[in-house]
Amino acid sequence: MTAYLDHNATTPVRPEVVDAMLPWLREGYGNPNSVYALGQRARAAVERAREQVAAILGAADASEIVFTSCGSESDALAIAGGAWQAHDETKGKRRKVVTTKIEHDAIRVLNGQLRRRGLEVLEAGCGPDGIVNAAELKAMIDDATAVVSVMHANNETGVLQPVAEIAAAARAAGALVHTDAVQSLGKMKLDAKALGVDLLAVSGHKVNAPKGVGALWVRRGVRLAPLVTGHQEKNRRGGTENTASIVGFGLACELAGRELSSAASHALALRKKLEAGVLRVKGARLNGHPELRLPNTAHFSLDGIDGHHLVVALDLSGICVSSGPACSSGASTPSHVLTAMGVAPELATASIRVSVGWGSTDADADRFLAVLPQAVEKLRAAAKVAA
Amino acid sequence: MKRRILVAMSGGVDSSVAAALVHERGDEAVGVTMKLLARAETGFGCCGSPADVDDAKRVAEKLGIAHYVSDMAEIFASKVIRPYLDAYLGGTTPNPCVECNRSLKFGHLLGLAEAWGCAAVATGHYARVVNGRLHKSLEPGKDQSYFLYSLDAKALSRAEFPVGSLSKDAVRAKARELGLKTADKPESMETCFVPNRDVRGFVAAHAEADAPGIAGGPIRDRSGRELGRHNGLAAYTIGQRSGLGLSGPEPRYVVRIDAAANAVIVGGVDELQTKSITVGALTWNGERNGGTFQAQVRIRHRHTPAAASIELNGDRTATMHFMEPQRAPAPGQAAVVYSGDEVLGGGTILRSLGGDA
């Protein structure tokens, strides 16, 4: 039995989601764009899912939802699509993207590409608590700014970001505002309108739907230069709709929305238990703001170890946690998020992230806490021998 | 009882088959590939370069065993690359594989193995452990015991060499039989972290710009006559003939590197013949505190161990007198002492004492 405590990496697909998807992989294979009834049924299923996703995001209308292949694509469509559109419409006057040093690699790598292609990209820092420095960021916004992008909650530390405050300033300057809310979906209430943003990215597999489906909420009236061209999704994203996964995503959002408050309090109780247990280990500390965090995420440093080696030790005991974003497994380089927070490199690499979610139990937490102290102790002993 | 065994998987065929054999006999094989170089330097085929990591992962997937990557770039830099540079800069010829085996595979990795609940570390080396003692592999042409002499009794008690009793052909055949991706992968040659075998280029790129070993200097004969110029001591090793840029009727070989004078000394082939060497940093399997004994000494990989009389000085140094003069022992290389197939111990060559010492 695996104790899965890495829900920020991905989540198990709920059985009712699998069940809802299967008909669309079997008899419901029609192209949603086809004229005949087989296609019409598929289209109806996609549109139903669009309403379900719109509901959990607080959208004014389901037509504001654009389905994509993943959260990374949603981010790219928002930032690159938004920036190039504004750039072209203003004949190059708006050529600046303002974002932060703690964004997901989906955005950081994109930023490098935008820079190489001639846009100006500025990144604001964060405090030791992992909260983006809003004053610094707002000072970067001017009338040449095309897009401002600030993540809703950080994927590593879970720390919540001052999106609404920044959004107000950005919109006042006439810039588009995007937020990467991939980690927040299903873990806390999201209300795109109330946040005051123009664009908001989410992903299916972080909310117990399958991998390979995401969405971008696009405030009505906002224009984007499409990345994948074609007539689907009202010309905003080409490609035949991934009916089954979209259906699964829709249902997962509906379930998450319905269960939000109980799921959040369950996650918070488990997180507090995990934090109390881990902090009893000598040389352990919690990274990020103690309160302003997703209810399900805790990030720790345990001095004297390599976090990656601890992940291996725990895996060999059937426990899944991560030592950084899943995308960068293998290299023990300090995470850019912890570096931005000013955490020393040797402490940054000595860290693990524990994240709970749907299906997590007290028994999972107990198993993790039973194995952790000795695993850490042994790794510290090994590190001493090597030095 | 099923034991958990950590298998160091480089992404080559030998360690792939080592993992397969551990798995096949019913133990729990846990594959680990060490990432030895920083990201920017992994553009070539070295342990832990992306292509090799991928090969190791594919083999592990095929076998159905766990596989992890461990970032050891920092410790590799301090324990292997730095001493390697220092040796060349000081005019000696380093043996980084010995140090990697001691400090990394059977040092740091062995420590991790214990922390991970593994009973042993298995590698793809061609060598054997018999009754706790290191022995040559049964395939003489592939034997790698030379690079493993410095493992202590504790390391040997936790070391496994699953291919040590096999021939290379048998290893490749086994890999093919199992459909492993690495079955026909070419042998890695020379020093794994030096691209294109360009030792001088590597040393120049990694050493301090004003390091003495980088500066050019004279090539002289024994009488002190300057015959040409060298482009930094780091490019030269005892016994080397090519790359000297000398003309003349007689072939000339590097017979000595004079680091103090930044000079390379050349001579005829007869001047390479050496009767005795002094060896330091000795380690022995078992107690040896003094006295003289007869054994066979190997002075480089693939050298046929030569009969010698070994005079211990008690302080981890010895003088080794060969029965027949040996060609070109190079300071910095290992001198490994054998009794037949068994490795008794070894150390680092400090000096060769010339043909008539």
For the segment A103-119, what is each residue's pLDDT rounded down to a tens digit? Answer: 999 999 999 999 999 99
Give the other-Cβ count within 10 Å of A146's Cβ.
Answer: 26
Nearest to A18 by CA among A214, A189, A216, A255: A255
Tell me which DSSP letter residue A332 carries.
-
DSSP 3-state of A281:
coil
Interchain CB distance below 8 Å, A309 and B70: yes
Nearest to B348 by CA among B320, B322, B325: B320
**Residue B40, CB half-sphere, CA atoms under 13 Å: how many?**
0
| Mean of the per-residue pLDDT values of chain A | 96
Per-residue pLDDT, A328: 45
Looking at residues B243-265, what average pLDDT do you find?
Answer: 88
In terms of C-beta density within 10 A (0-12 exposed, 13-18 middle, 19 or more buried), how is residue A66 classed?
buried
Which residues, in sequence order, are bridge partners of residue B292?
B311
Distance CA B125, CA B127 (A): 6
Give the other-Cβ count within 10 Å of A144's Cβ.
Answer: 17
Distance CA A327, CA B125 (A): 32
Which residues, in sequence order, are bridge partners of residue B256?
B265
Relative to beta strand B342-352, strand B334-339 is: antiparallel
Q: What is the pLDDT of residues A39-76, one digit of tens each?
A: 999 999 999 999 999 999 999 999 999 999 999 999 99
Per-residue pLDDT, B355: 46
Lowest mean pLDDT among A40-49, A313-322, B98-107, B346-355: B346-355
Q: Please report, as a single letter, which amino acid is at residue B115.
A: A
Lowest mean pLDDT among B71-80, B108-117, B238-247: B238-247
How many residues appear in chain B?
Answer: 357
- In this complex, is the C-beta atom of B30 within 8 Å of any C-beta atom belonging to chain A? yes
Looking at residues B39-50, what average pLDDT do you find?
Answer: 56
Test mutation, B70, B105, B106, B154, chain A, max A CBs within 10 A: B70
Task: Please indicate whether residue B269 or residue B308 has the higher confidence score (pLDDT).
Answer: B308
Interchain CB distance below 8 Å, A316 and B30: yes
Q: Which residues of A fall within a CB distance of 8 Å from B117?
A: 313, 316
| Mean of the per-residue pLDDT values of chain B | 91
Inter-chain contacts counted by CB atoms under 8 A, chains A and B: 56
Q: Which residues contact A79 (CB under 8 A, 6 or more apart)?
A: A97, A99, A107, A110, A111, A114, A147, A149, A178
Instruction: Please give the torsion angle defined by the CA atoms of residues B130, B133, B138 and B143, in that order, rounded to the nearest 10 degrees.
Output: 150
Q: For chain A, first and last CA: distance in Å?
A: 35
Q: Which residues of B fall within a CB distance of 8 Å from A334?
A: none
Q: What is the 3-state secondary structure (H, E, C) of chain B?
A: CCCEEEEECCCCHHHHHHHHHHHHCCCEEEEEEEECCCHHHCCCCCCCCHHHHHHHHHHHHHHCCEEEEEECHHHHHHHHHHHHHHHHHCCCCCCHHHHHHHHHHHHHHHHHHHHCCCCEEECCCCEEEECCEEEECCCHHHCCHHHHCCCCHHHHHCEECCCCCCCHHHHHHHHHHCCCCCCCCCCCCCCCCCHHHCHHHHHHHHCCCCCHHHCCEEEEECCCCEEEEECCHHHCCCCCCCCCCCCCCCCCEEEEEECCCCEEEEECHHHHEEEEEEEEEEEECCCCCCEEEEEEEECCCCCCCEEEEEEECCCCCEEEEEEEEEECCCCCCEEEEEECCEEEEEEEEEEECCCCC
Looking at residues A237-251, what average pLDDT do you find?
Answer: 98
Nearest to A136 by CA among A105, A161, A104: A161
Looking at residues A250-260, what average pLDDT do you find?
Answer: 98
pLDDT beyond 80 at B287: no
- In this complex, is the C-beta atom of B108 within 8 Å of any C-beta atom belonging to chain A? yes
Per-residue pLDDT, A330: 58
In chain B, positions 31-90, which contact chain A (CB-CB < 8 Å)?
Answer: 35, 39, 53, 66, 68-71, 75
DSSP 3-state of A53:
helix
The ipTM of this complex is: 0.87
Distance from CA of B116 to the nearest CA of A (A): 5
Looking at residues B212-218, what average pLDDT do you find?
Answer: 85
Which residue among A308, A330, A379 places its CB closest to the CB of B115? A379
Tell me which DSSP letter residue A63 carries.
G
Per-residue pLDDT, B207: 87
Tell me which DSSP letter residue A196 carries.
T
pLDDT band at A331 (very low <50, low <70, confident <90, very high): low
Lowest mean pLDDT among A233-247, B123-137, B184-198: B184-198
Interchain CB distance below 8 Å, A386 and B116: no
Give the other-Cβ count within 10 Å of A170's Cβ.
Answer: 27
Tell me which DSSP letter residue A173 carries.
T
Distance from CA of A297 to the nearest CA of B (A): 24
| Nearest chain A residue to B104, by CA | A386
Q: Which residues contact A131 (CB under 8 A, 6 or more apart)?
A: A159, A160, A161, A162, A289, A292
Q: For chain B, first and last CA: distance in Å?
A: 56
DSSP 3-state of A315:
helix
Of B46, B47, B118, B192, the catalytic one is B192
Give the other-Cβ count within 10 Å of A142's Cβ.
Answer: 12
Catalytic, B47? Answer no
pLDDT beyond 80 at B41: no
* Conformation bin of residue A153: beta by default, left when phi > 0, alpha when psi is -120 to 50: beta
Distance CA A313, CA B52 (A): 23
Distance from CA of B53 to the nearest CA of A (A): 10
Looking at residues A205-226, what average pLDDT do you find?
Answer: 98
pLDDT beyond 60 at B1: yes
Distance CA A139, CA A116 (A): 23
Tell me which DSSP letter residue A230 carries.
S
Q: What is the pLDDT of residues A158-214, one digit of tens each?
A: 999 999 999 999 999 999 999 999 999 999 999 999 999 999 999 999 999 999 999
Distance from CA of B21 to the nearest CA of A (A): 20
Q: Which residues contact A86 (CB under 8 A, 6 or more apart)?
A: A94, A146, A147, A175, A176
Asked if A196 and A167 touch (Cβ cutoff 8 Å), the reply is: yes
pLDDT beyond 70 at B270: yes
- In this complex, is the C-beta atom of A306 within 8 Å of any C-beta atom belonging to chain B? yes
Which residue shows structure tokens 């960068």? A328
